[in-house]
Each structure stands twice: as structure tokens, then as C-alpha cells.
Chains A and B, each alone.
Chain A
Amino acid sequence: MGLHKTEFKGLMGWIDARMPTLMSEYKKHLSEYYAPKNFNVWYVFGGLAITALVLQILTGIFLTMNYKPDAAHAFASVEYIMREVPGGWFIRYMHSTGASFFFIVVYLHMFRALLYGSYRKPRELVWIFGCLIFLCLMGEAFFGYLLPWGQMSYWGAQVIVNLFGAIPLIGPDLSVFIRGDYVIGDATLNRFFAFHVIAIPLVLLGLVVAHILALHDVGSNNPDGIEIKDTLDPKTGRPLDGIPFHPYYTVHDIYWLSLFLIAFFAVLFLAPEMGGYFLEWNNFIPADPFQGPPHIAPVWYFTPFYSILRATTEYFMWFLAAGTIAYALLVYFSLKNTLARLAALAIALVLVVFMVVPVLKLDPKFWGVVLMGISVLIFFGLPWLDQSPVKSIRYRPGWHFWLLVAFVVVFVVLGYFGTQPPEDTRNLISQVFTLLYLAFFLLMPWWSRMGEFKPVPARVSFAAH
């Protein structure tokens, strides 16, 4: 009694009778998970991100076997791994190159969502879990970068921890609390190690599971932005436009995975530092708390946000204040509800007071941190900012696509400038692009409704091949 009635024989039947979860989950998530049959190459990056995560965990475990989280020994232990541990250089370069590839894959995965409206109803939770994963990845990358205890590790951490010092009132105490000392030191290195190797990875894995479970509950979006569950086979009750994830998409993903690995290992063997973009030259010099490197820049995946931080200066505050008022007026005239209208104006007024009014105004440094935070967190809002009547870019007005291209250009240029030393012309362009970056998102509720939308077909567009 109590045994599950099983369709399997032998060992499989014995297990299935006692733990039916195993096969039912296999069916639910792989062999009987019906994914739209019109996936294109944009749909391989989720699987590639999981591969990248597995590689990071695997190489990370082996690195901890020789790494010493101690300010006196950390740098030397990394060089020991690189020069004396057999295969150590390979594992270390897999980990450092893997970090950059992880971000490449995740940025493309997020861009796919922008292209096809993958974050739209009913996939808001999938998107939110995804954004939380992105935040965790940023944390992993930041904490991990301190561990080699090179010049860029030390000074990069110094800059980022001091960001928290810009928060009014609690800032200075908060940055001491984060460091565990008055300067970046051994205490900081030890706790960053703890966060990097156990605390954040645990959260990250939980979020990845939540991301996939939430996705499999609502089903995958596709390049046409059509719900395949709306057209079911009357006999089987399965989506007519769906095919089982396994074997169809597992094979598809493995094909692209092999191409990904060719690119990955080409970089690993031929240019592991990637011209200073994946591993900065200055990080091959031990940390020196008394002489920072002449030019401090984060690794490329943080630089768009870093440019936004840097763009916020005293004069820029006036443009920011003007933008805030203009935006409040736009909200005011777009809303019907009097209370909501007045609330928008009141919030804008308070913000402007703290931006530019003498005595009351907060430092541009603080606002730089705020803008940088907003530029990351605003991704969470996409499901509600995007008010387009159709999901996929295929059926949206042509200029929506070009607007998306313009956003990518802004993002890439900000990213490039963030790797460069500060300079007047670049700073000015960064300031303009910071406003464009924010406008792309904040004006989305208006522009995403505008233009002529094409009719969306009932079934996905697919040519057998």
C-alpha cells in the first residue's frame, strides 16, 4: 500500500513507485514541456546562461582548493594557481573568461526579451526573477573581482563601497559596516570571499529554479509574441504550435552550445585577458593602498552604469531637475485622477528641491549613485512600462525597432566611455546619453502605444526545415 501505480518496469518501475516525482518532473520540464516551434537563435541564450553558471561553479570549486582569502596571501595564491598548480592557469582563465561570457550571454538573453516582449503578461514574474538573477550576477562579479587582490580589485572595491558612503546620514557608517574596517582590508576580503563562494551562489541557484519554474507554468514566449496555449489540439489538449523541449530543443541548444564553446575556448587560449577588457592589466599588480592606478575602470559589463554615475556633476543637476519637472508635467496631463496628478507634481517638486535648491540640495555624488541604481533597477519595471498592444517587434511599427537599436547604441557607447579615462567631450556625450537612456524607459508608456501596429496572426509563422 502507498505505492504509486507505475507504467515503468524493472529498476525504473521500482523507483517510480516510490518517488513518482522524478519521472513526472522529467515529463513536465523536458519531454512534455511544449515549447513554441518557431524559436530562433535568440532562444539559445537561456540554456547557454545555465551552462555558463555550471562552468563558473565547477571552476570556482577547484579554484577555492588553492586560493587563500587573506590580504597577505591572496595575490600570491592566485599567481601560484596561474604558474605552479598543474592546469591551474586553465581553470583560472575559464573562471575569468567565463564571467565575461556569462554577462555577454545574459545581456543577449535580456535583449531577446526586449525584442519579443517576453516580459509581458503573463510572464512578469519570470522577468522579475530574471532581473533578480541579474542583480545577483552583478554582486557575484563585484565580490569576485576583489579576490585576486590586485590593484584594480582593491581600488574598484574602494570606489564601489564608497558609493554607499554617498547616502545621506547613514552613508559613512554603512560603508564602514560593509568593509568591516575603516579601509578595504583583510576583513573586507574575507567577507567578500564568503559572499562570492557561498551566500550569493545559493541565492542565485534558488532564483534560477524559480525563473524556470515560473516560465514553465506560463509557457515560453516566441518571436511572434503569440500565446501557443490559445490554440490547442482538440484531441490531445496540447498546443498545436508546440513541440516537446526534449529532444527538439535540447538538440538545438547543444548545437549552439558547441558554437559557443568554440568561441569561449578561442578567447581562453588566444586572448584570455581580451586586450584588458576581461582581465585588466592593472590587476596583475598587487594591491597598493597608497598608490592607486592612474586610471580606474570596472570590467566592461559594469561600465554603462558606471558612465551614468560619472556623468552626474553639479551642472548636470539642472538638466536633471528640468527633466524631472517636464516628466511630472507629462504624467500630470496624461492622468485623469486628480489625486494621482497632484502626487506626481508633489514628488517631482520634492526631488527638484533636493537636486538644486541651495542648502537643501544633496551632493551630485549622491544623485549619481541614485541614477546608477535607477538605470539598473528600471529593468524590473519593463512589464508595466511597455504598453504596446502587441508583444513582438515583428508586429510593432518599424520605428520601434530603430528606437531599440538606438537604445543599444546608447548602452554600448556609455559602456565604452566607462572604460575610458574622464574627458570633457566624452563626459558631455555621457550626460546626453544618460538622459536618453532614462528617457527610453520612462517615456515607454507613451511611445510604445504610438504608431501603426500590424495585425498579429493566430498561429506562429513557421517554415518546416
Chain B
Amino acid sequence: MKFGIIQFPGSLCDYDCFYALRDISKVEVAFIWHEETDLSNYDCILLPGGFSYGDYLRVGAIARFSPVMQTVKEYAQKGGFVMGICNGFQILLEADLLPGVLVKNYGLHFLCRYEYVRVENNKTPFTNLCKPEQVLKIPIAHGEGNYFIDDKGLKELIENQQIVLRYCTKSGEVNDEINPNGSVDNIACICNKQRNVIGMMPHPERCVEDILGSSDGRFIFNSIINSIKNKKEAVMQGDK
């Protein structure tokens, strides 16, 4: 099993994701330079947080033209697991791998703090070890994490159960007051219809050890690892 973390110029959370996967989850992981185009050796592609290309134009707008992104699209279309965190989520939206947009936070400021999110769908490859409606304590750190989608799009997201995490209170209540950035319907994380591509604003890689204030991020990483194992087993059984 091997994870690949894409390094765009300006990626910042690449090393944090690397550490969380290699040192905490104990899986194999490698960096993928944005100019590479071969992803065939990886079981999951991770797009980390940061300010790719400085994000001076519009978040993620330039990164989607990176040579590696064309391959990421093909990889996703073939059913490969792709996960975008923060800036990675923004890039996945720009690359049309997920629906909607991320705009400036409601308060117009960058926000870095712990938030609670509720698991809305635990039947995705990225949340399958979470209980239904489980509350996770995960930090956010973004200036443009205000998720927006039109009513029609939102209806589709709900109908297809594509909303994976919502901002909530410590006890799991979803309301406007707790919404940190103004996201439509408190959305913190969505997946595509096929469930193999996910984008989230919170940073699971920042909370994988109790000493950092929470280890809830492990639920996300362990879920993916679990999914990859299951997928590999299914393939092996298919071979028989």
C-alpha cells in the first residue's frame, strides 16, 4: 500500500501529511512533484494544504493546470482514491473533480482553530471507520473555506449523500452559530457521486496525536487505509 502526496510549489502541509501517514499510520508514502505524470504506483493520492503557486489569482486556479493534475483526473475517473485537504480541496473544485466553489470566509479573515465536525456519511472510503453522526475534533486553517453551491447543486449533494462532514457543536448539533466560515449548510467536506474523491477544509493531519489536542484525524486516515486493504482483497479474490 502506498500513498502519494502531491507537492505543488507553495504546498505547505505536505510534510505534515507525510508525517501523519508514515510515522503515525505507519504506511508507505512518497512525495509526487507537480511535474510528474505517472501515478500508477499509488493507492491513494493526497493533495495537501498550502498556497499552491501563491494562490495570488484565485485559490487552486493555477494548480489545476499543473502537469500532474491531468493524470490525477484520469486516476480519479478510473476509481482511484483522491483526497484534497484545504488547498487540495480548492484545487479539486477548480479541476472539476468535485462540485461547488470555496470563497472567502464569512468574516473575511483567515481562521486557525479547532472545530467540531459531524460525520454525515460514514459509508465513504474516507469515513468508514467512523460511527454515524460521530463528532470529530479537527482544526481548520483557511482564509477561503466558505463552501458555496447553488440550491440545485445542494439538493443533489444531499440526495446523493455527498456531504461527508458538517461543522457542529461539541455535542453534534449543526447550527448557524457554530458555522466558522459561512459554508452553505455547514458543509466542511464533500465527496463525488462515486465516493472515491473527497475534499475537506479541516486538517486531519494536524490531529493524529493526543499531545496535539486531538487524534480524531486518525479516523479519516485509518478509514482510507481500511478501504485500500478491502479494495486489494477484493481484487485478489476477483483474481481467484
- B and A form one assembly: no
What is the interface of chain A, defined by CB distance below 8 A to chain B? none
